[in-house]
């Protein structure tokens, strides 16, 4: 279906009018949502951007956006017949608002760094209470003497504005216990951190400022659930690539980053294609159709607005 913003034919000018007067089904109209976004506005760094009449660039991450958020976002953009450039903030706001209501919380570590808790007996496992929803009943998450945190959540040198883990410093493992770094194991190059030794505070009397997400060995000496995570970002580096002579050079080389060896909590093993989750501190994700029984694949829909 083609729309001409300058046409005298109102059916071509206004796609909604076609649905109303020619009996096009609502479902068919829903399928035109992505096209509607393009025709009404050019969202800066958004999912769909037209650079000329013959070339459309579609960011795959857009396929993971919830339809309800797209509809609301479109309704809040005022109608006009001129090419307009809208910042994506408004659309992202509605996407987050929608996903916050339907995406259950869970924990995934993208780039795992091993932490061995030395004052906890090796092979010990306990189930801790976590929350799928802020006001929902508890959900069990396994905790053991071997946990994994993000590599980016550890530094060899601490600073006042840093809330991650560092030598001699404590952090809180979300839903679990405070831990304090007591030793650091370096690789052969004497620079790469390969393992952290820590002690945990079972009394929880320690009150650190930093709170980290984590994934533990679900049972003694068993590797956590390994998943693939695809991180999607803005497609273009500039706000309006249509203004550039060579827009291809403005493509973001990091618009898609594949993390093949992320660790996830065991509960995600039963996730099905289309299921949506909030990975705590990381963003909103959806199970991709490329998932198999051997490997789950998650696409990032959007990052979190804030982190704790």
Question: Percent of the chain beyond pLDDT 90?
Answer: 52
d(CA 195, CA 118): 12
**Is residue 26 included in any domain, yes or no?**
yes
| Cα–Cα distance list, 25 to 22, 30, 42, 70, 293 (Å) | 9, 9, 26, 18, 36
Residue 214 contacts residue 147 (beta carbons within 8 Å): yes
Full domain range(s) for residue 287 = 224-302
Beta bridge partner(s), residue 200: 179
**Is residue 81 included in any domain, yes or no?**
yes
Residues 212 and 229 in one domain: no
Residues 92 and 28 in one domain: yes
Give the domain-ending residue among 190, 216, 242. 216
In the predicted model, what is the mean pLDDT of the chain?
79
Per-residue pLDDT of the chain (308 residues; tens, 9 = 90+): 555 556 666 555 555 544 445 544 444 444 444 444 444 444 444 444 333 333 333 333 334 445 554 454 444 555 454 555 556 777 888 889 999 999 999 999 999 999 999 999 998 999 998 877 776 666 789 999 999 999 999 999 999 999 999 999 999 999 999 999 999 999 999 999 999 999 999 999 999 999 999 999 999 889 999 999 999 988 888 878 888 888 888 888 998 999 999 999 999 999 999 999 999 999 999 999 999 999 999 999 999 974 33
Give the domain-ending residue among 175, 192, 216. 216
For residue 57, give the H/E element and its range: strand 55-58
How many structural domains comprise the chain? 3
**Is residue 297 included in any domain, yes or no?**
yes
Residue 34 contacts residue 47 (beta carbons within 8 Å): yes
183 closest CA partner among 171, 160, 165, 201: 165
Give the domain-ending residue among 174, 189, 216. 216
What is this structure's pTM? 0.75
Give the model confidence (pLDDT) of 126-178 as tens digits. 999 887 777 666 678 999 999 999 999 999 999 999 999 999 999 999 999 99
User: Residue 11: what pLDDT?
Assistant: 55
Beta strands 225-232 and 297-302 are parallel
Residues 210 and 119 in one domain: yes
Residues 179 and 116 in one domain: yes
User: Residue 90: what pLDDT?
Assistant: 78
């Amino acid at each position: 279906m083609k729309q001409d913003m300058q046409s005298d034919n109102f059916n071509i000018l206004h796609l909604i009018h076609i649905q109303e007067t020619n009996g096009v089904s609502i479902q068919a109209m829903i399928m035109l949502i992505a096209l509607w976004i393009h025709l009404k506005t050019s969202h800066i760094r958004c999912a769909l951007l037209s650079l000329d009449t013959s070339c459309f660039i579609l960011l795959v991450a857009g396929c993971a956006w919830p339809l309800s958020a797209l509809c609301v976002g479109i309704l809040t953009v005022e109608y006009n017949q001129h090419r307009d450039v809208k910042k994506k903030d408004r659309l992202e706001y509605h996407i987050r608002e929608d996903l916050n209501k339907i995406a259950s919380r869970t924990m995934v570590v993208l780039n795992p760094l091993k932490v061995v808790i030395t004052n906890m007996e090796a092979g010990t496992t306990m189930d801790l209470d976590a929350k799928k929803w802020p006001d929902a009943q508890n959900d069990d998450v396994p905790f053991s003497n071997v946990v994994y945190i993000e590599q980016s959540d550890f530094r060899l040198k601490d600073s006042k504005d840093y809330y991650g883990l560092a030598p001699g410093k404590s952090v809180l493992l979300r839903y679990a216990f405070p831990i304090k770094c007591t030793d650091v194991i370096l690789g052969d190059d004497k620079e790469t951190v390969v393992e952290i030794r820590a002690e945990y505070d079972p009394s929880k009397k320690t009150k650190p400022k930093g709170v980290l997400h984590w994934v533990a060995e679900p049972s003694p000496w068993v590797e956590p659930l390994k998943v693939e995570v695809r991180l999607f970002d803005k497609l273009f580096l500039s706000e309006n690539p249509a203004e550039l002579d060579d827009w291809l050079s403005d493509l973001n080389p990091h618009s898609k980053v594949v993390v093949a060896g992320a660790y996830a909590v065991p509960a995600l093993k039963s996730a099905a294609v289309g299921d949506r989750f909030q990975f705590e501190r990381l963003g909103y994700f959806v199970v991709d159709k490329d998932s198999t029984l051997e490997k789950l694949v998650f696409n990032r829909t959007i990052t979190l607005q804030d982190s704790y």
